[in-house]
A = this chain, B = another copy of it.
Amino acid sequence: MKVTPWEVEGEVDYERLLREFGAAPLDIRGMELPKPVLLPLRRGYFYAHRDFDKFVEDWREGKRVSIVTGRGPSGPMHLGHILPFYTAKWFQDKMDAFVFIPISDDEKYLVKRKLKVKDVESFALNNVLDILSVGFNPEKTRIAIDMKDTELYRPAVVVSKRVTFSTMRALFGLTQESNVGWVFYPAMQMVHLYIPQILYGPHRVLVPVAIDQDPYIRVARDVAESIGLVKTAGLLSKFMPSLESPSGKMSTSDGGEEKVIWLTDDRDTIRRKIMKYAFSGGQPTVEEHRKYGGRPEIDVSFLYLYYFFEEDDRKIREIEEGYRSGELLTGELKDYAAKKIADFLEAHQKRKEKLLRRDLEDVVESFSFREDERRRIKEWGREF
């Protein structure tokens, strides 16, 4: 197992990661969350946290809360990329959270040798359209693109004075041969996490991310108070399982384009990919399956339904029990999962089509920093 913010390899042991990273295990019983509780939150996809309890408490007390979740534009987005934004939208809908969405075109440009500026620029625009198709409220959502919204450089200078090369190296696996942009980038990412506080004063900001991104949260927490900000809170998830492995991470790195579900895939394509590639917890033959039953806990189709797509608690229990008993066959389970995923993506695609009929510049503008917000960023941090 190898898990860093830029690389995930092998079978992931989530409990070990939790211990190594030193985050707290998540137990939402006793937390007064708005109903219905977000599926990945109540079904254990989010399984660890830092100060999530304080975040919920602040919200209950009527205080302002914010969410930061970003995107590194290295290509088109797949299912695993978009789900965090639906999580962010839940917090916006249910807790009135301000949502900040940083697009780190600088990071992807600096880290991926072959990418040119025009590549990351074009991916950034493409990705922004998908993110906006989630349906955020433009009054309470801002999107910034690092190499376009360069005001962010100024607070990044303030932050970067407080972190040494050796700290960044230990956290992010930099080497002596890393380019100096890459060395600096974590300071930009720390600023991303601070932006809601820079815009609207100190308050609790929650970062819902996969656990491999926890080092960024840790270093942001370490510095926050020295620059007058509240420590960043983190809500840490497992990885979106890849089609071929329940404990892998959905990624184009190994499997290529064919083995992930793209946001643009149609119903037939989704069904074909699930049927062909989704790792099954069932038995090799129907007879054996009927006799011994399947293992839902390692079945990718089941896990997708369980974590993301089957809201109905009774229904998911029926599926789990039916599959375990052998009554529900793998083909039937896959068929149902493919249908639910296709329903979800069709709704997403419809919102995107609607978006594409509008003036895109206007749309993007309505989610960009307002003039007074840019001024606040430019004036922040004089006393540090």
Contacts and interface: CB of A to CB of B under 8 A. Distances in A.
Given A110-B161, A160-B184, A381 B117 contact: yes
Contact of A382 (B106, B117, B158): B117
**Copies of chain A in the complex:** 2
Contact of A147 (B153, B165, B176, B182): B153
A378 B117 contact: no
A112 B209 CA distance: 35
Contacts of A158: 109, 117
Contacts of A121: 382
A146 B109 CA distance: 22
Interface in A96-130: 106, 109-110, 116-118, 121
Interface stretch (A77-85, A166-174, A238-246, A342-350): A166-174
A313 to B, nearest CB: 47
A186 B181 CA distance: 10
A165 B166 CA distance: 12
A384 interface: yes
A181 B166 contact: no
Interface in A142-196: 146-148, 150-154, 156-158, 160-166, 168-169, 174-184, 186-187
A359 interface: no
Interface residues of A, number: 45
Contacts of A162: 179
Contacts of A148: 154, 378
A165 B161 contact: no
B383 A117 contact: yes
A151 B148 CA distance: 8
A228 to B, nearest CB: 12
Contacts of A118: 382-383
Given A148-B378, A378-B148, A178 B164 contact: yes
Contact of A165 (B110, B177, B384): B177
A154 B120 CA distance: 13
Given A117-B381, A121-B382, A153-B150, A164 B176 contact: yes
Contact of A180 (B150, B168, B179, B382): B168
Interface string A343-384: 000000000000000000000000000000000001001111
B180 A163 contact: yes
A147 B159 CA distance: 13
A8 B182 CA distance: 30
26 contacts: A109-B158, A110-B157, A110-B160, A110-B161, A116-B382, A117-B381, A118-B383, A121-B382, A148-B378, A150-B151, A150-B152, A153-B153, A160-B180, A161-B181, A163-B179, A163-B180, A164-B179, A164-B180, A165-B176, A165-B177, A180-B183, A180-B184, A180-B186, A180-B187, A181-B184, A183-B183
Q: State the 6 A-B residue pairs at the shortest beta-carbon distance, nearest first.
A: A160-B181, A184-B184, A153-B153, A118-B382, A150-B150, A166-B176
Given A165-B175, A165-B180, A180-B183, 6 more contacts: A109-B161, A147-B154, A165-B165, A165-B176, A165-B178, A181-B184
